[in-house]
Amino acid sequence: MSSPLPLPNSGLRLRPELPLCQSDLPLDWYQEELKPYAEEYLALPDRRPETILPWLDAYVRPAQEHFGESLLLLAHFYMGGEIVKLVERYGGAVSDSYALALQAARHPEKKIIVESAVHFMAESVAILAAADQEIWITNPKAGCTMEMLAKDHHVLPIADQLFERYGDELTVVAYMNTSGRIKALAGRTGGAVCTSSNADRVLAWARRDGQKVLFVPDQHLGRNAATRLGLDPARWLTLPNPEVFPGAYPLERVSGGLAALDQAELLLWGSHCGVHSFFRPDHVTWWQERGWRVLVHPESPLEVVNAADGAGSTAYLWREVMEAPAGARLVIGTEGHFVTNAREQAALRGVQVMHLADIPEENLGLAGCGCATMSRNDPPHLAGLLDLLRRGAAPESNRVLAGDAVDEITGELDRLPEAERATLIAEASLSLERMIAVVEG
């Protein structure tokens, strides 16, 4: 049986003639427990719904019957290929990171929550979950390039130096695209989590008493939020990218030295999204000069957001596409799989959608623009994990507890002792609850 939707249906439609899924992953990318499902999947003659859906049904439907209404499937809009459509087909929900994070807390009747997304998203659900709710991810090695540049071993040594220098004058705003360990840092320093849909509101709240703010990890989202608030760019300072200065570099190594650090009101962690940071203002103007309306995600550089006709979260971008009138022509600057799904759905209503990077000129075109790590979740991972859960044999590395850290290459799990996890949950949940209060209070 399928669970009632905890979120509005996205409007995605499965059509039999459409290829169903993203490029197949090599067999050695799967955990040993999931390899038998991958072998069956790879042996299927094609990737169309009429072939894949009966194969999926054989594993997903028994799991749904076994768990009943206690099972909830979740996926993020950026999921590769058609996995988002599959999740909704089986009664699950697709949304952005803010809405997904709230699902366990707002649906206490859901005891087994399985998310097809990246690890920090599933961990955010786990932080707010009750003790009797289990959170699982279809592929624990699905990570985020931005979060990989803001691990706790990157951030905490720098944060310790900053708090030694500024004490209570400094607070941390942690973007949702961080681990629970960084969200806990925000919680214990009087700060909050933010998402792309509310970064400006949370930043304004954090500066309510003139606080100096460390914004982790996305420097572009931080600049865009600061611009919306009218903060003086001369008072922003970007900390070195951990790829350039690994380890606990001394604060004197920041641009302008300690004097610039003291004058700054906003400290931007030097990380970025591997997809959005490649967009340029001339990509925007190329489309605008040809009569297209350009909408971008605020993880894009400030100059791109300023040039665009609109900017907002994935939920905002999806809504703009789904509510556009027939005949509209939209260009979307965000993750490629999202735009592919948006283009298909828009075409059914007479709306044209293009990707910002799809410019047929050699000096302007970009290759890729899809989130490769998000695409590590695919049908064999979904089918295999649900079947293993039903049988009581799911790999422990797919279980997501607050504070977990997973190596995106090896899959090695670093799990906190129970006492440390309890402290982290208290601090990280506080940072999430502050965000919710800012947004909904």
Domain assignment present for 190: yes
> Do residues 84 and 131 share a domain?
yes
What pLDDT band is residue 272 in, cutting at 50, 70 and 90?
confident
Residue 303: is its pLDDT beyond 80?
yes
Q: Quick one: pLDDT at residue 262?
A: 96
What pLDDT band is residue 393 in, cutting at 50, 70 and 90?
very high
> Do residues 151 and 234 share a domain?
yes
Query: What does DSSP say about strands 236-238 and 192-194: parallel, antiparallel, or unpaired?
Result: unpaired
Domain assignment present for 2: no
Q: Can you give the residue range of the structural domain that contains 293?
A: 276-355
Integer Cα distance of 168 and 166 in angstroms: 6
What pLDDT band is residue 99 in, cutting at 50, 70 and 90?
confident
Which residues have CB under 8 Å from 126's CB, separation 6+?
Answer: 104, 135, 180, 400, 401, 402, 404
Residue 246: is its pLDDT beyond 70?
no
Domain assignment present for 17: no
Which residues have CB under 8 Å from 114's CB, separation 6+?
Answer: 71, 72, 73, 74, 136, 137, 138, 382, 385, 386, 389
CATH number, position 70:
3.40.50.10800
Domain assignment present for 427: no
pLDDT digits (tens, 9 = 90+) for 305-321: 999 999 999 889 989 99
Residue 251: is its pLDDT beyond 70?
yes
pLDDT, average across residues 129-158? 88
pLDDT digits (tens, 9 = 90+) for 276-287: 888 999 999 999
> Do residues 153 and 100 share a domain?
no
- Based on the structure, what is the number of domains in the chain? 3
Q: Quick one: pLDDT at residue 370?
A: 56
Please say which residue of 213, 239, 272 terminates a domain: 272
Considering the entire predicted model, what is its pTM? 0.87
Integer Cα distance of 285 and 3 in angstroms: 45
Q: Quick one: pLDDT at residue 200?
A: 96
Domain assignment present for 421: no
> Do residues 252 and 329 share a domain?
no
3-state helix/strand/coil string of 112-127: EEEEECCHHHHHHHHH
Residue 396: is its pLDDT beyond 70?
yes
> Do residues 234 and 168 share a domain?
yes
> Do residues 153 and 219 share a domain?
yes
> Do residues 235 and 169 share a domain?
yes
Residue 20: is its pLDDT beyond 50?
no
> Do residues 264 and 293 share a domain?
no
Please say which residue of 227, 250, 272 terminates a domain: 272
H helix or E strand, kind and range, residue 136: strand 134-137
> Do residues 152 and 268 share a domain?
yes
> Do residues 175 and 256 share a domain?
yes
pLDDT above 90 coverage of the chain, percent = 59
Q: What is the mean pLDDT of the chain?
A: 87
**Window from 129-133, 145-149, 190-194 with minimum mean pLDDT:** 145-149
